Copies of this chain bind each other. A is one copy, B any other.
């Protein structure tokens, strides 16, 4: 391994001068700079960032922990946060937690292990115990998630209740009267409780009763498809479905098609997230579209404000959203 001292010795200067060249600082004569640069090239020198970080006490890296990478929702989040962070001079590394609470904790510990300056944690199902929150206080963190959290934590959440309520209202406005919610968690009912709450709120205002609330084995396309099969096989008559997420909705639409049920004529469906593929499905998917760009920018802003010690607010903010109507709810 080539160090600055090696390069310095070869050129006949001190390590400090080499450091100045490597970091593009001024105060180095053109001649020396040139000779140092030549030797850096020649020797294949690589900066040891552990050493630099040890010295300067920060890494300029923000960690982003997401439950899964193979969904466009979290992929897009990664893309947007990376861009927002780059604008502020930070780099982002993405960690996958696999949505298991223990892995979310592991991500937090990892962030310590990797010496991230800060962490953005998309916490699908952080356990209620205090212990993880204690962990979170050890490293500057912004949470993106669904859960009610103590006010002193930085937290950005989606408009789960209002968004799902308006999505449900859209179905009702389009003539649906026999509505089902696909998204009951198998065990922990608190997870995604907000979306369910919004669904029931809309029904209650309209004076309707839910036909059913279908359990969801996993909150993804496969789970949605399975739930749709179950719904068809159990036989309750349904003309509108509110799905927990777009991925679930895509699975539901496909699962209905498997049973010969065609949307939007037979059953209308809405999702949540507005993933990139929503407008490419057949039928294209009506959905709650949170402002992902806003969310990403705000998460980074708040984290950086905290990192750089300026004024920063705590507590929960809710991302703005819009209802996007496409073919899956057309009359």
Residues of A within 8 A of B (CB): 1, 44, 46-51, 53-54, 57, 59, 61, 68-72, 74-76, 78-79, 82, 91, 93-96, 110, 112-115, 138-139, 221, 225, 250-251, 253-254, 257, 276-277, 279-282, 284
Contact = CB atoms under 8 A, between A and B. Distances in A.
A69 B49 contact: no
A115 B91 CA distance: 14
Contacts of A51: 50, 54
Contacts of A114: 49, 61, 91, 93
Contact of A254 (B1, B44, B280): B280
Contact of A69 (B53, B54, B76, B257): B76
A69 B79 contact: yes
A119 to B, nearest CB: 12
Contacts of A257: 282
B70 A75 contact: yes
A79 to B, nearest CB: 5
Contacts of A251: 280
A280 B285 CA distance: 13
B47 A54 contact: no
A74 B71 CA distance: 10
Nearest to A44: B138
Contacts of A282: 253-254, 257, 281-282
Given A225-B280, A282-B253, A79 B50 contact: no
Nearest to A263: B282
A47 B109 CA distance: 10
A44 B257 CA distance: 55
Contacts of A113: 47, 49
Contacts of A221: 276-277, 280
Nearest to A257: B282
Given A46-B138, A70-B79, A93-B94, 14 more contacts: A1-B57, A49-B112, A50-B51, A50-B54, A69-B69, A69-B75, A69-B79, A70-B75, A72-B75, A93-B114, A221-B276, A225-B280, A254-B281, A257-B282
Residue among A1, A250, A277 with max Cβ neighbours from chain B (10 Å) = A277
A75 to B, nearest CB: 4
Nearest to A275: B70
28 contacts: A1-B57, A46-B138, A49-B50, A49-B112, A49-B114, A49-B115, A68-B79, A69-B69, A69-B75, A69-B76, A69-B94, A70-B72, A70-B75, A70-B76, A70-B78, A72-B72, A74-B75, A78-B96, A94-B94, A221-B277, A221-B280, A225-B280, A250-B277, A250-B280, A251-B280, A254-B279, A257-B282, A277-B277
Residue among A53, A57, A112 with max Cβ neighbours from chain B (10 Å) = A53
Contacts of A82: 69, 96
A245 to B, nearest CB: 13
Given A96-B79, A250-B277, A50 B47 contact: no
A68 B75 CA distance: 8
A1 B53 CA distance: 14
Contacts of A59: 50
